[in-house]
Structures are given as structure tokens and as C-alpha cells.
């Protein structure tokens, strides 16, 4: 999944780089991948997309699809919804050997999608009306807007006291586009351990968690995405992660303790044992 800060970066770069271009050729499933998902038979993508003019790109924060980390490419008659990394290849550059979706543009440039862990590449009507039911629009407030209030955040946590902080933030797409990657710095900035249960947090700590979600996600977006991810042109983002695979084993920037990595809930968590103490609820 592309997480929301990077989705905004990719959408902005796509609009600036390819808006106004037409898709001359499309190919799906060139390099089969067990976790690449298409909403229509891959062999139909060429006919569905050839001749479509690209109008703009948007971060898919609930506009037409439930997973807010998507990038939506708005075309003349179609919407392309991508939850994979996207790369731009300038005219005259070599066509990539492996890809799960390739769009050749009318100026000779290419856009490619390559699945890492898993990814969806969907084509639908512009209003999303023909999307599979499980990808239907989520009626949620757009994260980077005034509608994502503390009251709404409190509502998301209602009845979820037994969940850990990581499970609350990074599972079930409660906040579309917020996943395990961005959660690490959010919890670090809030000084909350990933395993800490919500019902063990004080009111002030929970308010601090909300504030950290807002501030950290804005910093990631405004920094051009995280340095653990790459943009449309294959360059790492400018936001320097505090907790990630890049910082594992390094000293915490606040207290000097070693950053720890542990397996948890099907992925990895990173934390500082000093700044993010864990207290088991009795």
C-alpha cells in the first residue's frame, strides 16, 4: 500500500508531469505477481485505457475508494486507481523489464507500477460506480482537511480500548492511507509504545496522540514523503524518518537509547524503550 503522505506527493508530481498527455498503450500483468490485484481482466486494460487523456491525479483519500493511500489518475472517461509505487520514465528511456501495469503516453514517456508486497491497479468509470463492493467509497472525512477533528478521532476509538496503539492506527483502514510505516514516527512523537492499549492512555495522552497524527502526517507530506519511500522519479522523500529500518540500532535522538525493532501484528515495530515506555494493563 502507498501511504497517504506519499500518495499526495505522487499525485502532485503526476499532475505536474503528465496532465494533458494521452495514453497510447496500456499493458497489465506483464510480470505476473501473486499479490497484484486487478478489478477487470488484465487483457482488457489496453482497450479500456488506450486513447484516454490524463486530466489530473489525486490522492485517493476516500474520493472513490476505501483505501486512502491510493493515487487516482483522472482520465477523460476513466479513473485509474493505484495502490502501488508509480514511476515515470522519460521519452527515449529504456522500457522497464518487469511491471504489473505499464502506460505508454503519446509523447513516448512511460508510467509503470511494480508491486512490492501487494498492490491493486484498478480501472473504473470516473464516478467509481463499477468498483467491486469491497472497494466502494468510504464515507470518511478527508484526512488533510478541517473535517478530521479530534471529536471524529475520539469516535474512531470508541469501544476499541483493548486495541494497542499500533492496531488502532494501522489496521482496518480506520484512517484511510495511514499504515504501519507512518505509525512509527506518530507514536514516537506522541511518546506512546506501539503495544500500549488505548484504555491505558490518559486523556492527555490520547489528545497527544491525535495531535501527533496531525503534525507528523503534515510534516511527512510537506517534506516530500518519507526517506524510506521513493517518488515518481525514483528519488527518496525529504522527510527523515525517526523510526524505521534506517534507524534500527541507532541512538534515540532524544535520550540516546538504542532504537529497538520487534515483530508485532504481522509486521515490524520500532520504538525507544526509554521515550516510549510500555505498561501492561492490569
User: pLDDT digits over 22-73, tens only?
Assistant: 999 999 999 999 999 999 999 999 999 999 999 999 987 444 444 457 899 9
| Other Cβ atoms closer than 10 A to 197 | 19
pLDDT (0 to 100) of residue 134: 62
Task: Examine residue 280 and state whether it is found in any structural domain, yes or no.
Answer: no
Residues 217 and 165 in one domain: yes
Q: Where on the phi/psi map is residue 155: left (φ > 0), alpha (ψ -120 to 50), or beta?
A: alpha
> Could you tell me what percent of the chain has a pLDDT over 70?
94
pLDDT at 214: 97
What's 210's domain CATH number? 1.10.8.50
> What mean pLDDT is reported for the chain?
92
Q: Tell me if 125 is assigned to some domain.
A: yes
Beta strands in the chain (DSSP E): 23-28, 36-37, 54-59, 71-75, 78-82, 86-89, 101-105, 110-113, 119-125, 260-264, 267-271
Report pLDDT for 279.
82
**What's the domain range around 225?**
150-271
Q: Which pLDDT score, from 0 to 100, does residue 139 have?
A: 63
3-state DSSP assignment of residue 191: coil
- Both 97 and 57 in one domain: the answer is yes
Buried b (16+ CB within 10 A) or exposed e, 226-241: bebbbbbeeeebebeb
Percent residues over pLDDT 90 in the chain: 79
Q: Are residues 106 and 180 in the same domain?
A: no
Domain boundary, last residue among 85, 102, 135: 135
* 113 and 230 part of one domain: no
279: left (phi over 0), alpha (psi -120 to 50) or beta: beta
pLDDT tens column, 93-113? 988 899 999 999 999 999 999
Please report which confidence band the pLDDT of residue 135 belongs to, taking 50, 70 and 90 as the band edges.
low
pLDDT of amino acid 64: 47
Tell me how far apart the alpha carbons of residues 60 and 51 are, in angstroms, rounded to a whole number. Answer: 23
Judge if 88 and 204 occupy the same domain.
no
Q: Look at the chain and report how many structural domains it folds into.
A: 2
Residue 72, domain CATH:
3.20.190.10
Q: How many residues does the chain have?
A: 282
What's the pTM value of the predicted model, to 2 decimals? 0.91
Distant-in-sequence, close-in-space partners of 84: CB < 8 Å, separation ≥ 6: 2, 36, 100, 101, 113, 114, 115, 116, 119, 120, 121
Q: For residue 191, is pLDDT > 50? A: yes
Amino acid at each position: 500500500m502507498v501511504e497517504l503522505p506519499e500518495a499526495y506527493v505522487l499525485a502532485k508530481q503526476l499532475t505536474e508531469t503528465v496532465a494533458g498527455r494521452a495514453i497510447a498503450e496500456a499493458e497489465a500483468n506483464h510480470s505476473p505477481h501473486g499479490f497484484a490485484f486487478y478489478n477487470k481482466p488484465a487483457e482488457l486494460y489496453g482497450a479500456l485505457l488506450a486513447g484516454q487523456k490524463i486530466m489530473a491525479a489525486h490522492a485517493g483519500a476516500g474520493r472513490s475508494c476505501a483505501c486512502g493511500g491510493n493515487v487516482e489518475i483522472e482520465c477523460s472517461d476513466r479513473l485509474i486507481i493505484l495502490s502501488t509505487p508509480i514511476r515515470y520514465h522519460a521519452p527515449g528511456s529504456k522500457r522497464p523489464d518487469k511491471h504489473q501495469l505499464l502506460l505508454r503516453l503519446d509523447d513516448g514517456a512511460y508510467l509503470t507500477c511494480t508491486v512490492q508486497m501487494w498492490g491493486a491497479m484498478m480501472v473504473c468509470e470516473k464516478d467509481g460506480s463499477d468498483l467491486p463492493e469491497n472497494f466502494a467509497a468510504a464515507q470518511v472525512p478527508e484526512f488533510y482537511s478541517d473535517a478530521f477533528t479530534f471529536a471524529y478521532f475520539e469516535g474512531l476509538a470508541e469501544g476499541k480500548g483493548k486495541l494497542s496503539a499500533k492496531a488502532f492506527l494501522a489496521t482496518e483502514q480506520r484512517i484511510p492511507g495511514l499504515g504501519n510505516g507512518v505509525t512509527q514516527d506518530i507514536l514516537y512523537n506522541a511518546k506512546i509504545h506501539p503495544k500500549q492499549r488505548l484504555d491505558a492512555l490518559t486523556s492527555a495522552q490520547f489528545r497527544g496522540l491525535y495531535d501527533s497524527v496531525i503534525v507528523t502526517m503534515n510534516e511527512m507530506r510537506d517534506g516530500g514523503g518519507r526517506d524510506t519511500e521513493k517518488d515518481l522519479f525514483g528519488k527518496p522523500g525529504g522527510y527523515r524518518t525517526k523510526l524505521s529500518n534506517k534507524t534500527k540500532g541507532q541512538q534515540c535522538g532524544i535520550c540516546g537509547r538504542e532504537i529497538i525493532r520487534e515483530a508485532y501484528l504481522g509486521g515490524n515495530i520500532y520504538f525507544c524503550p526509554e521515550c516510549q515506555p510500555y505498561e501492561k494493563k492490569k
